[in-house]
Amino acid sequence: MPENKIYLPEGLRPCAPLTPALLRDALEQETILEAPVERCDGSRALHISLGPIDGLIPREEAISPWISGASRDIALLSLVGKPVCFTVTSLAADEKGAPHALLSRRAVQEKALDHLLETLEPGMLLTCRVTHMESFGAFVDIGCGIVAMLPIERISVSRIPHPAARFRTGQKLLAAVLSIDRENRRFTMTHRELLGTWMENASHFSPGETVQGIVRSIREYGAFVELAPNLSGLADLKEGLKEGDRVSVYIRSIRPEHMKVKLQIIQRLPPPIYPAPLRYQITDGKLERWVYSPPSYEKPPVVTDFTASEISGSDADIIS
């Protein structure tokens, strides 16, 4: 079971219709609720529809100040149309006598951060949600709007040009804590270990099969074709081939002792509409040491040591 089940990422908590009685209970019990932001007014307060009652998150209660970029208007404007977590801080009537609820997202975020800093350790698995992506990695919500970094080289063993080749914004995924900077209250995540070892991925393929793949890298001596996010093979070059092409490939051989898959490209295929679904080999527990390489591998193993937050072995060994 992932370790952030109490403080789920925004967008993963049910948004049930709320009655005045349920809101009063939420106020008394400090229950975490979630609903989409309807609009952001000129004072940068967030307006939320709570069924029969209007909710308001004042600007100072919308984002905790320790979050990077919290003081910028775009941090608030970008929340419109998206679900946010909050607690009810007061119930009253507005100037027209209509029921009115004051809400705080900041209070939830501060509780979530305190909990994550106190309980998380490297190797623990979390449910995450992709918030946005840059060329260097994906930013993922690990609980109530707390955003962590997932570097591009930690997304999968197979190298990708951009996180959008693997994820979509808003996508739910699993990731493991790689490191924690408690002084600066930052988390770095890793994802590729959950997608399985070389042998776990290679076991889904057999010599003589023809399967689909994506060209991830073109070198003078051949093209690396991704068969799965954690498994690539080498094929001879084909005229007109480009990185990102979807192809059908014939599997010539699978050699665990060299960690190599030899392929032959049959033809180019139409491009995929969406990134391929993720197949996780690990979905719960705590990782301490993950070895990607097969036991028979003739070079030093490719390892993630979560107790030291270090990686041994070379990424070049993985794809070459």
pLDDT in tens, the chain (320 residues): 566 778 999 999 887 677 788 888 989 999 999 999 999 999 999 999 887 788 999 999 999 887 777 778 888 999 999 999 999 999 987 677 677 899 999 999 999 999 999 999 999 999 999 999 999 999 999 999 999 999 999 999 999 999 999 999 999 999 999 999 999 999 999 999 999 999 999 999 999 999 999 999 999 999 999 999 999 999 999 999 999 999 999 999 999 999 999 999 999 999 877 777 899 999 988 999 999 999 999 899 999 999 875 455 545 455 54
- How high is the pLDDT of residue 48? 93
Domain at 120-196+281-320, CATH homologous superfamily: Nucleic acid-binding proteins (2.40.50.140)
- How high is the pLDDT of residue 65? 82
Q: What is the CA radius of gyration of the chain?
A: 23
Query: What does the block give as tokens for 113?
Result: 């951060």
Cα torsion through 204, 208, 211, 214, rounded to 10: 90
What is the C-alpha separation between 166 and 227, in angstroms, rounded? 13
CA angle 156, 158, 159 (to 5 degrees): 95
- How high is the pLDDT of residue 71? 76
Closest to 290 measured CA to CA, from 298, 301, 279, 280: 301
Question: For the sheet containing 303-305, what is the strand order?
Answer: 289-291, 303-305, 310-312
- How high is the pLDDT of residue 319? 52
Q: Where are the domains of the chain?
A: 20-112, 120-196+281-320, 198-269
Read off φ and ψ for residue 60, nearest 5 degrees.
-70, -15
Is 20-112's fold the same as 198-269's? yes
Which residues does residue 46 pair with via DSSP β-bridges, in sequence order?
A: 40, 57
What is the C-alpha separation between 139 and 5, in angstroms, rounded? 19
- How high is the pLDDT of residue 268? 95
Question: Is 20-112 assigned to CATH 3.40.50.12780?
Answer: no
Question: Is 198-269 assigned to CATH 2.40.50.140?
Answer: yes
Residues in Cβ contact with 55 at an 8 Å cutoff, skipping those fewer than 6 apart: 35, 47, 48, 49, 86, 88, 100, 101, 102, 103
Closest to 4 measured CA to CA, from 138, 84, 132, 112: 112
